[in-house]
Amino acid sequence: MQRAIELGRQARYWSAPNPPVGCVLVRDDQELGAGFTQPAGQAHAEVMALNAAGDATGATGYVTLEPCSHQGQTGPCVSALIDAGAARVVVAVEDPNPQVAGRGIAALRAAGIDVELGEGADQVEADLAGFLLRMRRGYGRITLKIAMSLDGRTAMASGESQWITGEDARADVQRLRAGSDLMVTGVGTVLADDCRLTLRADELPLDGDAKDRALAHPPARMVLDSKGRTPAGAQILEGGQATVVTAANVALGETVHTVELDADAEGRVDIGAWVQYLGEQAFNDIMVEAGPTLSGALLRGGWVDRLIIYQAPKLLGDDARAMAAMKFSALAEAPEFEINEVTRIGADLRIIAAPRG
Ligand SMILES: NC(=O)c1ccc[n+]([C@@H]2O[C@H](COP(=O)([O-])OP(=O)(O)OC[C@H]3O[C@@H](n4cnc5c(N)ncnc54)[C@H](OP(=O)(O)O)[C@@H]3O)[C@@H](O)[C@H]2O)c1
């Protein structure tokens, strides 16, 4: 299962919207074949492993997610395993996709195949978090990434914020972007920084095939821009790939992909409507890199599943900008987080936290 988990990780840069799954087929302690999910519309991990194995009669399959039982863009993996004569299948996590949801396991058992569930489940739950959340609640994982100083400031009063953290932290962000399906910012950051939110081959700290897979499948990009203030010449619009989400019927030019969603009470893009749209678009892993206005709105509304903070050993002073627009009158009102990981990245710290509870 550990090998299947590691194989699944190789699919993380290109499998979206499908989950990055790994599969290994074993017989008499010999590996017969192994594989991981190919890009959407192509073979799933089980089929890759079966093709590599040739003859899998009597084999045990280790697969990180329940094999699919429905006809999607590709045929059901359950049928492929049954037809190949597999004797036993070990599954880490049941697929919450309503089209599967235990039916894959039931079909394997009905065909006389032994099925075990749960080995490696904690690791797979973490690796597939975005996909599993989307299947369980309708939209994927929302990660808010912020670069800040030791005193919690994210930009100078003038708006200058490039670069608070060092080169190593920025390279780490490139890797995180590569593992995301969608990058999001607010129009305030587009106006201040003319950001692109792209992957940059020379800064992406991946090697060989993983780098090729990541660069061939970069994350989509999106600006939340209620009134259509994104300038026509903004770098994020170059190439016509980014989506501008508005809360009004505004024309941004024929080459700009614009989506109008409901407005909230302040006339801004309604976050609930936006999140529903993210689910409809089947984004598993959404990463927000925004200024205090949008970051604050997401944190206040409890929309953030994971907070990734890069903290640089610098002090920016008390007129520099805060991380999030939020006001509380008592400590008891302060939202609480649980720190899951602290890692030193070059001269900076990377803190990964999740809302408590
Ligand atoms: N250190 C870091 O990690 C980091 C990262 C990014 C940016 N920054 C810095 O942040 C500064 C920009 O901050 P900012 O607060 O102006 O920009 P922002 O948070 O990126 O964008 C804010 C804008 O998003 C739009 N928006 C659309 N729907 C919204 C909603 N429901 N709730 C809130 N906003 C919504 C609003 O404009 P409309 O009402 O017109 O739609 C709002 O003014 C810059 O100085 C930049 O350098 C720092």
Separation CA 156–CA 320 (nearest Å) = 4
332: which residues sit within 8 A by CB, 6+ positions away?
none
Residue nearest to atom 43 of ligand 1 (CA): 188
pLDDT score at 240: 86
Average pLDDT, the chain: 95
- Parallel, antiparallel or unpaired: strands 114-117 and 88-93: parallel
Q: Is the pLDDT of residue 182 over 90?
A: yes
**Is the shortest distance between the CB of 228 and ligand 1 below 6 Å?**
no
CA atoms within a 13 Å half-sphere pointing along the CA-CB vector of 219: 27
Query: What predicted TM-score, i.e. pTM, was given to this entire model?
Result: 0.95
> Which residue minimizes the CA distance to atom 17 of ligand 1?
188
Given pLDDT bands bounded at 50, 70 and 90, which one contains residue 253? confident
Q: How far is the CA of 131 from the centre of ligand 1 (A)?
A: 27
Ligand 1 site, residue 144, Cβ cutoff 6 A = no
Residues 6, 123 contacting (CB under 8 angstroms): no
Query: Which residue(s) pair with 114 in the sheet?
Result: 88
Six token digits for residue 284: 């598993």
Instruction: Please tell me if the CB atom of residue 258 comes closer than 6 angstroms to any atom of ligand 1.
Output: no
Arithmetic mean of pLDDT, 234-241: 93
Please name the residue that has the structure tokens 């996590």: 93
Summarize the confidence of residues 15-41 as an average pLDDT: 96
Active-site residue 289, yes or no? no
Task: Count Cβ atoms below 10 Å from residue 315 Cβ, excluding itself.
Answer: 12
pLDDT confidence band for 254 (50 / 70 / 90): confident
Q: Indicate if ligand 1 lies below 6 Å from the C-beta of 245.
A: no
Domains defined for the chain, CATH in brackets: 2-129 (3.40.140.10), 139-355 (3.40.430.10)
* Residue 21 identity (one-letter amino acid): V
Query: How many whole angstroms from 326 Cα to the centroid of ligand 1?
Result: 13
Q: At 142, is the secondary structure helix, strand, or coil?
A: strand
For the stretch 103-135, pLDDT in tens is 999 999 999 999 999 999 999 999 999 999 999
Query: What was the pLDDT predicted at 161?
Result: 86
Whether ligand 1 lies within 6 angstroms of the CB of 293 is answered as: yes
**Dihedral class, residue 9 (left if φ above 0, else alpha if ψ from -120 to 50, else beta):** alpha
Is there a contact between 130 and 284 (Cβ–Cβ < 8 Å)?
A: yes
The pLDDT assigned to 352 comes to 98
**pLDDT band (50, 70, 90) for residue 74:** low
- Distance from the Cα of residue 333 to its chain's centroid: 29
